[in-house]
Structure 1
Amino acid sequence: MNTAFLVGAGGAVGAMARYFFSVLVARYWHGPFPLAILLVNIIGAVAMGICIGLLARFLPPWQEQARLFLAVGVLGGFTTFSSFTLDTIVLIERGELVQAGLYVVLSVVVCLLGLYLGLLITRGGMT
């Protein structure tokens, strides 16, 4: 099966799941804290661990297709945070602690700065 199709189909499923989960949480949570996204990130991280762990443990012949559809597509569409956490854990398990720390700090700080820069640009704050 086509790689792009597997990732795209999984991504559509994950994005729709994130949307419906956020709508469900919003029915019950009315506070300013972004609880839905926090829960999506936690659920996605746990699901990524289970998915990758099971695929590595059982090594099915369709492992690569399942990884593309489930891990990259569904969970990537549900929350890219699950991919971020997987990459971080892989670096830690390889003993590359400095790289893992750098990856976490740069991902969070640079992405926050990048979003802020984008807002400044679109709001006319940078002339």
Structure 2
Amino acid sequence: MTVLFVAIGGAAGSLARWGLASAVSADERPWMIVAINVLGSLALGFVVAIGDGLSPAVRTGIGVGVLGGFTTFSTFSMDVFGEFEAGRGFQALLIVVLSVGLGVAAAACGWVAGREVG
């Protein structure tokens, strides 16, 4: 059952990311990827915190499937490289700092929220 949840969740998460990233211009896409990764970090923090209240199959389906498909390190990496390649080094560094900083902060907030709920 876990494999099915991961597969369905991965498809759903990937389609959600594709839909959001496709809804913005090429210039705005790196910022959408930042938002997607931060939102995914928030959600994963929440899932981890309430994890004991979920079956292992559901927890894995959401964490690995949905959120694994939704967030993306490879696109983030290529976006940063693209900004450097285009001569926008400051923007590239800003994307890195905001992605990592906000991602960790969001994961912590999600975890705290999950602990309060669970």
TM-score interval w.r.t. the shorter chain?
A: 0.5 to 0.7
> Which residue matches 2:22?
23
Counterpart of 1:106 in structure 2 is: none
Query: Looking at both structures, which has the greater relative contact order when contacts are Cα pairs under 8 Å and sequence separation is at least 6?
Result: 2
Aligned mate of 1:49, from 38, 45, 51: 45
Q: How far has the Cα of 1:67 moved from its partner?
A: 1.1
How far residue 10 of structure 1 moved from its aligned partner, in angstroms, is 0.5
How many residue pairs align between the two structures? 76
Tell me, in whole angstroms, the C-alpha distance in 2 between the residues paired with 1:42 and 1:30.
19
Q: Of 59, 64, 72, which aligns to 1:67?
A: 59
State how far apart, in whole Å, the 1-side matches of 2:59 and 2:7 are.
13
Counterpart CA distance in 2 for 1:14 and 1:39 is 14
Please, which runs of 5 or more residues in structure 2 have no aligned partner?
A: 74-102, 108-118
Kindly tell me: are residues 22 and 80 of structure 1, through their superposed partners in 2, closer, same or farther at Cα, counting changes over 3 Å? closer
Shift of 1:3: 2.1
SS at match of 1:31: coil
Q: Which has the larger radius of gyration?
A: 1
Deviations 1:22-80 (A, max 9, x none): 123x0xx563671111111111111110111122xxx23x4201211110100001015
After superposing on structure 2, the runs of 4+ consecutive aligned residues of structure 1 that deviate more than 3 Å are: none
| Residues 41 and 11 of structure 1, relative CA distance in 2, 3 Å threshold | same
